[in-house]
Amino acid sequence: MSIQISHLNVVIENLKILEDIHFTIPKDTFTSIVAPSGAGKSTLLKTLTGVQPMTSGTIKVDDQKVTGLHTAFSYMPQEDMLLPWLSVYQNVTLYQKINHLAIDEEQVRDYLDIFGLNGYEHFLPEQLSGGMKQRTALLRTIMNPSSYLLLDEPFGALDAMTRGQMQDWMLKLPKKAKRTTLLVTHDIE
């Protein structure tokens, strides 16, 4: 299982955003793409999910050509996209609720603790700091059991200590959860 991208081009309003991109991400690995703002990182992730159509090229997931929206990916955009009327707990278990899946309460408690959200389960997003919203959004993405995580600047709103803790935990995730992770960022740290 892997993500294979070849000859990927994305043109938006006559502007080349991505040009002739090629790479492969092996199964169960953690891959980071570090590039300056405006380099097309977010567009790449949106194209992988099918939210942004590609102009030309090929994307394969597990040797299957991908066209349109693809459910193999759990995607975290730069914006937290939390539903404001749902609590932290309801936001992080949203995938399970929508898909009528059992919620592993022990796993949720463990993750809330790892993410520093223990005790905030019933808080609404408006009651959280920017960093807590970011952690809630990241946890919601991780709670989606898809094989592939696509993370767009997931540590941007976090303080240095929390960012370090989350980075350490994320590096362990592919081995723990058998997931392939692609993280894009402009931050070399």
Which pLDDT does position 176 carry in this prediction?
65
pTM of the model: 0.87
Region 86-93: mean pLDDT is 97
Residue 180 has pLDDT above 60, yes or no: yes
Q: What is the pLDDT of residues 20-77, one digit of tens each?
A: 999 999 988 889 999 998 899 999 999 999 899 999 999 999 888 988 777 788 999 9
Mean pLDDT of 161-178: 71
Q: To the nearest whole number, what is the mean pLDDT of the chain? A: 89
Residue whose C-alpha is closest to residue 140's, from 175, 103, 168, 167: 103
Q: What is the CATH number for 175?
A: 3.40.50.300
Long-range contacts of the stretch 173-178 (C-beta < 8 A, 24+): 173/30, 173/142, 173/149, 174/28, 174/29, 174/30, 175/28, 177/142, 178/28, 178/147
Tell me what pLDDT residue 189 has: 65
Q: Tell me if 47 sits within 8 A of 11, measured CB to CB.
A: no
Residue partners of 93: CB distance under 8 A and separation at least 6: 103, 108, 143
Taking the C-alpha atoms of residue 110 and residue 2, their distance in angstroms, rounded to an integer, is: 28
Q: What is the pLDDT of residue 124?
A: 98
Compute the half-sphere exposure of residue 16: CA atoms within 13 Å on the CB side of its CA: 7
The token duo for 19 is 């040009």
> What residue numbers bound the domain in which 124 lies?
2-185
What's the total number of domains in the chain?
Answer: 1
Closest by alpha carbon to 182, among 24, 64, 40, 56?
A: 24
The confidence band for 178, taking pLDDT boundaries of 50, 70 and 90, is: confident
| Cα separation, 42 vs 44, whole angstroms | 5
